[in-house]
Amino acid sequence: MASNKNHLNRRDVLKGIGMGVMGFALGRKVFGLANSRAAVGPAKAGLRRGGQLYKKVTKPARVSLVKGNDRREIVYQSLKKIEDEVLASIGDKKILIKPNMVAVNTPLCATHVDAIRAILDFLKPHYKKQIIIGESTAARTSTFNGFKNYGYLPLEKEYNVKLADLNRTAYQYRYVFGRENRPLPIRIISIFLDPNVYIVSAARMKTHDRVLTTLSLKNVLLGSPLNDYKKNDKWQVHTGQRAVNTLCHYNMFHLAQEVYPDLGVIDGFVGMEGNGPIGGTAFDSRVALASRDPLAADIIATKIMGFDPKRILYLTSLAEAGLGQGELEKINVLGTPMSQCQYHFKPERRMAELYNL
């Protein structure tokens, strides 16, 4: 494949360093570009006319929240509550549903197949093209092992969808921050950079060992670096010691200028607490969330989990830069009242120490 090469393309180098690392190094607020993925997604309203900077979103966001005793049904109903908004936003784009399969043999860490069925139940009556269900596991073995182990293979016949191992597709080079804040080139899977692809982030509600929570945004941002099963670029985004302001927050913020989901869906029917994102234990919360503003969805989900979203740097940074609505009082929750969905997830052990939880 032409783009799978071992040297950096000059255009990619210039784009990565010119608008990313140099902007931060010089202390300028280079938050996004007019032709970035964020500019064509939910954060579009954040761009200033005639300029390249974002500003905070002032328009209220809508997040649907449904609690119930059937995973497939509550995920479906969460989407139905924002149906008009979602369907109007798809247009002629190709649809990619991106589940979370950070590992291929740990069911609790992965998006349950019935949550994917619910999304397909919602989309299929309105969308006649073939939908791609694509994942790029962080494991050392093929994503298709995850598709098999988690019961995804029957979906191809049930819904005429295509399962794709995104780790075996084209990529482009971008930069993130490495140790001592040096620019670190990584490979970003091309489909996440394509403005003609409508990205549905199908996440599981989980705790995390670097940034406290992992929800719809992190599912896509940390799913976009390539893992070719010999070298895993996803780990390079996690560079640096664990801290409240670990580099992982900044790297996700940086990637979000071009990589951003169009629709966030969070399956919290059975979430993960404790030593997430892989080694935690089950938390029976029985909720599902959906929003065209994935940042707003993640903020509500973080509150439901019992954490303060204002203390999570990647969420506050994205809100400050206008990549979504970050103020709780400006997020309209549809469906089940939040007062009926308040829990206390145990944080990952080291995060509990760092955040004094």
For 265, phi and psi rounded to 5 degrees? Answer: -130, 125
With a pLDDT cut of 90, the percent of the chain lying above it is 82
Give the pLDDT score at 37.
Answer: 40
Q: What is the percentage of the chain residues whose pLDDT exceeds 70? A: 85
CA angle centred on 280, ends 275 and 286, rounded to 5°: 125
Residue 52 pLDDT: 56
How far is it between the farthest Cα atoms of the chain? 53
Give yes or no for a contact between 168 and 256, defined as CB atoms under 8 angstroms apart: no
Taking Cα atoms as reference points, which of 292, 324, 288 lies closest to residue 309? 324
Cα separation, 208 vs 273, in Å, equals: 9
Parse the chain into domains and list their residue ranges. Answer: 10-354
**Token pair for residue 353?**
């120490």
What whole-number distance in Å separates Cα of residue 107 and Cα of residue 296?
27
Q: Given this model, what pLDDT does residue 30 score? A: 30
pLDDT digits (tens, 9 = 90+) for 305-352: 999 999 999 999 999 999 999 999 999 999 999 999 999 999 999 999
pLDDT tens, 91-125? Answer: 999 999 999 999 999 999 999 999 999 999 999 99
Cβ contacts of residue 343 below 8 Å, gap of 6+? Answer: 283, 285, 304, 305, 306
pLDDT, mean over the chain: 88
Angle CA 21–25–30, to nearest 5: 65
Determine contact, residues 23/175, Cβ cutoff 8 Å.
Answer: no
Residues 231-266: pLDDT tens digits?
999 999 998 889 999 999 999 999 999 999 999 999
CA-to-CA distance for 76 and 55, rounded, in angstroms? 33
